[in-house]
Every structure is written in structure tokens, then in C-alpha cells.
Structure 1
């Protein structure tokens, strides 16, 4: 079976499942997608560019939301960030993987960990690219805070111009908190968003 046939098969399975469950009186507000093959599935379910909902197969007035799995998206973000080395933000500033490498080397050389939990496996991530915890350890707020401190407070030249990288990491930390929220009593970015 070719790739497109598999996508259509998955699409039909999702539509059939939604319809069968709808017949019992249960309406799912959304589906969660975890990987690239499901991204193609979403493209079939949501044919309009960048649309995040699709009509329910049994009742087109009901919209089904498509939510990407945040843990998988963190792995993809880390892989993209590390593989390209340099990305540009909306202001045209450089977001550099080099700063995370430099932070790891600084901590190793100074015998500190600066509360970042950065390890060799985070820097040499390719051997364990599917480990969610490594992706999350690479882009947490503590890494952003450590980079910020080394740049501003210590004025370490190795970390000059890391502001865009710090902002990038903080954005991903907030996104992770939002999409990984499980506690109805959570606050700030850890509060439920639905």
C-alpha cells in the first residue's frame, strides 16, 4: 500500500470512529496528532491552508479541533533547531544552537550545572532523538535563564547576542506548559486552555 493510500485509510478510520461515537451521543471536541504521517492526515481532514478544525463527518455544524502532541512537537523543534544551527526570528535576529553548546561546555568546564540539567546526551541528541525528556531538557526556562545571566550579568563574550535564543526557548517553554497542562487548577501557562 502506498503512502497516499495509507493516509486515506487513516482519514477514513478517523471519520468512521467519529461517526460511530457520535451515534452513541458522545462528541469529541478534538483529535490529537503525534507525528509527520498524521500531519498529512490533518491536511486531508483540514484541506484549507492552516485551518485547525474540520467539520464533524456526522454533523458539519460541529467543528473538530486538531491538536498536535506537544511532546512530539518539542522533539521536532529541538531537531530543527539543532540541525540548522541558526534560525531567524521575526525581527531578523539569530537564534543559535551554539549558545546551548556553549552553555553545556561552560557548565562542564566550571563544574556547575546552573540548574539547567543539560547533559552530553542533550548536545549529542542524534543518538537518542526520540527521547522526549531530552528535548524538554534542552529547551526549558532554566536554560534561557542561564544564557541570560551569562550574557547580561557576567557579560561573557561567548554568550553575547543570545537574546533571540533566550526568547525562543522561553516561547517554547510556555507553549509546552500550555499544551501539556493537565491540572484544571493550574495557573498561568499551566492552566488548561480548553
Structure 2
């Protein structure tokens, strides 16, 4: 997780649900700074689970890209997110975004269901309500898919093939305008 440590970014939800990552045998790396009580909360997690959770308070651009490129998934459990870049970096790096379906996160990440996987539309994992229980359930879902390496690789490849470039956006707008004008 690479983020500002604020409730808006869902860091409190992560603190409440990090036990699920540990229970599943996963590891979590957190880079960021922000509210002192959240910094303290994630540092306590790292002390409680030193084999599973690592924390670096502060920001380091190069390290953030290494973390994004080296992870299996990137957590973005934001309460609201007008656009968001972290999930887009994750998509390009093949680090599947696990996001709360809000704002730009909902627009750019398609939940991995049997239907979306078969249709090659899946690009990560989403949850609806900003609660620790929903985040835990989505973490379980992600770990279950991770246990299927071929399926995980297919979703990762489909995620990396997503095109959010201006060229693609411009073509969509052009089609929209032509439809409005009846051309």
C-alpha cells in the first residue's frame, strides 16, 4: 500500500482488517505518512506481525514504484477517490488493484468474478461499502484467486492490457459526439 495515511484513503479499514492478510499467509508493505494515530496504528501492526507486515513512514518515489512493481496486489480502500493513479500504476505493472468501488476506482477496476474472468474483463478486486468486514471479504476473495496461478496470471494479463490513454478516451468521445449528431 502506497498512500497518504488518512481515513479518506481507508487506512483505518486496513488496520482493522490486516489480520486477514496475516491469517491467509500474506505479506503487506506500507509506504506513506499522514495522521499520527494512523502512523502509530500501522507501526503497531508491523510490531505485532514482523514476518508479515513492513512499514516505512515517509515517501520515496523510487521505492513506491518498486513496491508497486514487486507486489501481487495493491490496496486502495479509499472512502472516496475522484480519480486515483495508484490503481492505474498497478494495472500497468500487473499488480492487481484491490479497491473500494468509488469514483475513479470504480471506473477503472473491474471485479474478478467468474463472469468477468471468462469475458477477459476482470482487472482486480472491488468492494462496495467502506467497512473492515467488506475489505476482509475482498481480501479472502483475492487470496482464493491467488491460489489459482493460471487464473491469476490471466487476470493480471487482462489488467495490463487495459487502455486508459488519451488516445482511447478521445476515440470514445468522438463516437459519443458522432452518435449525438447522428453521423
**Same fold, TM exceeding 0.5?**
no
Give the TM-score normalised by the residue count of structure 1.
0.26
- For the pair shown, the structure with the greater C-alpha radius of gyration is 1
